[in-house]
Structure 1
Amino acid sequence: MRKLIMGIVDFRERMLPQYADRLRELALTQRPDALFITCSDSRVVPDLLVSTHPGDLFTLRNVGNLIPPATADGLSTGDFSEASAIEYSVLVLKVRNIVVCGHSECGAMKAVLTRNPKLKAPNLDKWLCNADAAAFRLKHAGALNLALKPHDQLSQLNVLIQLEHLMSYPIVREQVAAGVLHLSGWWFDIETGDMYAYEGESKLFEVIDRQEAERLVRRLDAS
């Protein structure tokens, strides 16, 4: 807690002068380009990883970067918090992109594979059911990258499953079909610091170096 408190002082004294004008501009409105869905893990810091500033990202974080699927009428089958963030970002903020970002060494993915009954965490156990489809796919269809550890294999497949869950929401499906919303699956390797993007053609997560970044941007521009 001491680190947090002194961090506030550091921001006020050292960083706030750099952001003061931007924060005044954002005081009454925001126009983020993307909804960024990622894990609550302390090692995953979205604004640091994608070099963004206040107002650039509408961020949704939870254990395992999970999105409970919707029913046919668009109601979430799980926690309404995630569904509300989707609706607000798409309908009110009119974001053009939604990114689901998983990561290596994810505790949630480890828990999905082990399901430790001694932990006595009924809420966590129920929440992780939203990753069961990813575990099923890993067991029956195999991993995208066999060189990864099992929980990292699951983490990558989980990103794809959560993208499918997103598409179960009518507002997302309609916006994607209209070409005004784009969904992306990313995966962050904590040890190397590399971010990867899922490529449908190769069916692999490809590292986002300059060449891959330019390819992704061209694809977005074309759509």
Structure 2
Amino acid sequence: MLRKLMEGVVEFREQMLPHYTERFRQLATGQSPDAFFITCADSRVVPDLLASALPGSLFTMRNIGNLVPPATVDGVSIGDLSEASGIEYAILVLKVSDIVVCGHSECGAMKAALRKERPSDVPNLNRWLCHAQTAAFRLEHEGALDKSLCVHDQLSQINVLVQLEHLASYPIVRESVSAGTLRLNGWWFDVASGQMYAYDRTKRSFELIDRDLIDRLVMS
């Protein structure tokens, strides 16, 4: 497997790097990404590929289940500081105008979150998945956004919305949204079809991203 990765590096240098030489030269002195993209660590979700994004366009944070531990009233994360640090850096230093939380189909974290009992040999993972429990509670008591999906995909969609709420628990996020300098966006990727969906608040559903949806959501 290491050989495959290293051969990929050589292939990039020989075939692709000439097309990006100037881009990397410009990026060497700093970055100014368009968005902060929070998504799952799942290998099937490739943000730059799916968004046709050039190097330097996305400031990306990945973890199991695309989870964002909420903050206290003082803006301090109740969980791992990595996510909170990424939020602060994206908003205060990079000054991104959009944050995207992107979930996906067949998410292992969502399947695990639905289990009543979990293996005892993964204590860190079990603690981490507590940040998906609000989504599981809502699915059970409020129902799915799309009942045609299997239950773990139903949870994955609701989880995106819950993590957006967790983001909004950070004062710097709320203040930036109120000032009109930041937008929060929920996306969901269907692995089998390769299609990306965005949450439409007016329809309370994830809609296929096409040119009509772009015009409607970006203008709203």
TM category, shorter: over 0.9
- Higher mean C-alpha deviation, range 114-123 or range 135-144: 114-123
Query: Is the Cα contact below 8 Å between 2:200 and 2:217 reproduced in 1?
Result: no
> Could you say which residue in structure 1 is the equivalent of 2:65?
64
> Could you say which residue in structure 1 is the equivalent of 2:151?
150
Rate the CA distance shift 1:119–1:193 in 2: closer, same or farther, 3 A.
farther
Give the superposition deviation at 1:191: 0.5
| Correspondence 1:181 to 2:182 | yes
Q: C-alpha distance in 1, partners of 2:20/2:127?
A: 41
In the TM superposition, 1:159-198 aligns within 5 A as 159-198=160-199
1:13-56 CA-to-partner distances (Å, cap 9, x unmatched) read 01111111000100011000100000000000000000001110
Query: Is the Cα contact below 8 Å between 2:75 and 2:171 reproduced in 1?
Result: yes
In the TM superposition, 1:35-114 aligns within 5 A as 35-114=36-115
Q: C-alpha distance in 1, partners of 2:179/2:185?
A: 16
Identity of aligned residues (%): 64
In the TM superposition, 1:105-124 aligns within 5 A as 105-118=106-119, 120-124=121-125
Give the superposition deviation at 1:12: 0.7
Q: C-alpha distance in 1, partners of 2:105/2:37?
A: 17
What secondary structure sits across from 1:117 in the alignment? coil
**RMSD value over aligned CA atoms?**
0.9
2:36 is matched by which residue type in structure 1?
L
Give the superposition deviation at 1:216: 2.5
- TM-score with structure 2 setting the length: 0.97
Rate the CA distance shift 1:116–1:42 in 2: closer, same or farther, 3 A.
farther
1:110 is matched by which residue type in structure 2?
K
Q: C-alpha distance in 2, partners of 1:72/1:117?
A: 31
Query: Is the Cα contact below 8 Å between 1:115 and 1:125 reproduced in 2?
Result: no
Q: C-alpha distance in 2, partners of 1:138/1:47?
A: 30
Give the superposition deviation at 1:115: 4.9
Give the superposition deviation at 1:117: 3.0
Q: C-alpha distance in 2, partners of 1:144/1:106?
A: 17
List runs of 5+ in structure 2 lacking aligned partners.
Answer: none
Query: Is the Cα contact below 8 Å between 1:112 and 1:132 reproduced in 2?
Result: yes
Q: C-alpha distance in 1, partners of 2:126/2:6?
A: 33
| Correspondence 1:11 to 2:15 | no
List runs of 5+ in structure 1 lacking aligned partners.
Answer: none
